[in-house]
């Protein structure tokens, strides 16, 4: 493993397939700041070919097992794949502490598979910035398929998952109760529905429930209607059919212009995040130091009004 901390050297080693260097670069991206930006600049010219598949659903739905089964399916077809497992609720860095997901360990020695957990470091902006950058790096390293698994069905998870080119929403028979809070959000982002753990009872009711919600959701006549596939991820039953559904959605997205539209939306989101992060950094720099202390004290003692003080901070003469 390379011992350098220089992003350019690490990137060169990563292009040669050195997994330690890839992990290091992803840690830089996770941490944000100047180094993350440098990794991004290095990766960008090599990127642009990967296709991302989001896999999301309630905790316990079997997303990791399904992801692992998908990896097996793709590897049997000799397709290389990278997996980002995103956990917005964990304050720890996934790479260091969560490690690779236990269920995916089967693939840990396969050089055609790269798996990485990512977590925020407390601030959500971090993840919305880091996820597209991590995808860009893996893309630059030649992975044509990137699976992005998000834990949970909250607002943030749905947002991250909604950034994929195709999004698979995983539910279970009798799902209704567990995800009630954000059913509408999941309906909005799903390109493929998977009823996992389909060896349990209630599969047909769940399918009817989903079809009914799709009927009510007022899709335009020529729009993509998310297919519903039943799987048993533990035995890989239904996984080829699920992947075919993803491929069908990809073909639709490419031909209909939906893919370009989605990527354009994502580009706007990322740009907005970058601009906001820059301005936030600017605010942090403004609100510190001797000048700041003097102005704040003047406001506290009623010698200066807060707007004039803010003005003086923003536009020092």
124 binds a second copy (CB under 8 A): no
Tokens 């130091």 -> residue: 289
123 binds a second copy (CB under 8 A): no
Q: Could you give the string, one character per residue 42-81, with x where binding to a second copy holds by CB under 8 A and - elsewhere?
A: --x--xx---------------------------------
Q: Which of 276, 289, 291, 294 binds a second copy (CB under 8 A)?
A: 276
225 binds a second copy (CB under 8 A): no
Nearest residue (CB) to a second copy, 133 versus 149: 133
Task: Report d(CA 218, CA 191) in Å as an integer.
Answer: 15
Displacement of CA 41 from its chain's centroid (Å) = 19
Interface segment toward a second copy; rule CB under 8 A; list 92-100, 217-225, 228-236, 296-304:
296-304
Total interface residues for a second copy by CB under 8 A:
40
Q: Which residues contact 38 (CB under 8 A, 6 or more apart)?
A: 7, 8, 28
- Provide, rounded to whole angstroms, the least separation between the CB of residue 85 and a second copy: 24
307 binds a second copy (CB under 8 A): yes
Nearest residue (CB) to a second copy, 105 versus 264: 264
268 binds a second copy (CB under 8 A): yes
Task: Report d(CA 215, CA 208) in Å as an integer.
Answer: 10
Contact assessment for residue 202 and residue 174, using Cβ atoms and an 8 Å cutoff? yes
306 binds a second copy (CB under 8 A): yes
Nearest residue (CB) to a second copy, 195 versus 259: 259
The CA–CA distances, whole Å, from 160 to 136, 163, 184 equal 15, 5, 16
Which DSSP string do the residues of 25-71 spell out, in sequence order? HHHHHHH-HHHHHHHHHHHGGG-S--EEEEEEESTTS-HHHHHHHHH
Contact assessment for residue 91 and residue 120, using Cβ atoms and an 8 Å cutoff? yes
Which DSSP string do the residues of 275-304 spell out, in sequence order? HHHHHHHHHHHHT-SHHHHHHHHHHHTTSS
Q: Using CB under 8 A, list all residues that contact a second copy.
A: 37, 40-41, 44, 47-48, 260, 263-264, 266-268, 270-272, 274-276, 278-280, 282-283, 286-287, 292, 295-297, 299-302, 305-307, 309-310, 313-314
């Amino acid at each position: 493993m390379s011992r350098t901390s220089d992003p350019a050297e690490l990137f060169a080693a990563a292009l040669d397939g050195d997994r330690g260097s890839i992990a290091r670069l992803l840690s830089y991206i996770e941490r944000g700041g100047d180094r993350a930006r440098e990794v991004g600049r290095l990766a960008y010219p090599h990127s642009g070919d990967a296709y991302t598949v989001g896999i999301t659903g309630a905790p316990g739905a079997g997303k990791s097992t399904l992801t692992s089964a998908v990896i097996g399916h793709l590897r049997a077809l000799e397709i290389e794949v990278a997996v980002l497992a995103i956990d917005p609720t964990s304050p720890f860095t996934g790479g260091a502490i969560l490690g690779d997901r236990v269920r995916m360990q089967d693939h840990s020695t396969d050089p055609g598979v790269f798996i990485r957990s990512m977590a925020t470091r407390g601030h959500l902006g971090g993840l919305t910035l880091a996820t597209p950058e991590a995808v860009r790096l893996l893309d630059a390293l030649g992975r044509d398929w990137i699976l992005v698994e998000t834990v949970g069905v909250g607002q943030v998870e749905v947002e991250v998952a909604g950034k994929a080119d195709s999004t698979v929403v995983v539910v279970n028979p009798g799902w209704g109760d567990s995800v009630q809070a954000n059913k509408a959000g999941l309906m909005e982002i799903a390109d493929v529905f998977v009823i996992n753990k389909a060896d349990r009872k209630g599969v047909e009711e769940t399918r009817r429930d989903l079809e009914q919600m799709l009927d009510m959701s007022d899709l335009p006549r020529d729009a993509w209607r998310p297919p519903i596939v039943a799987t048993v991820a533990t035995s890989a039953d239904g996984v080829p059919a699920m992947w075919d559904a993803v491929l069908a959605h990809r073909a639709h997205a490419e031909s209909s212009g939906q893919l370009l539209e989605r990527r354009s939306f994502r580009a706007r989101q990322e740009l907005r995040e970058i601009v906001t992060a820059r301005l936030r950094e600017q605010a942090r720099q403004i609100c510190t130091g001797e000048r700041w202390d003097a102005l704040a004290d003047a406001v506290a003692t009623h010698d200066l009004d807060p707007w004039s003080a803010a003005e003086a901070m923003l536009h020092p003469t």
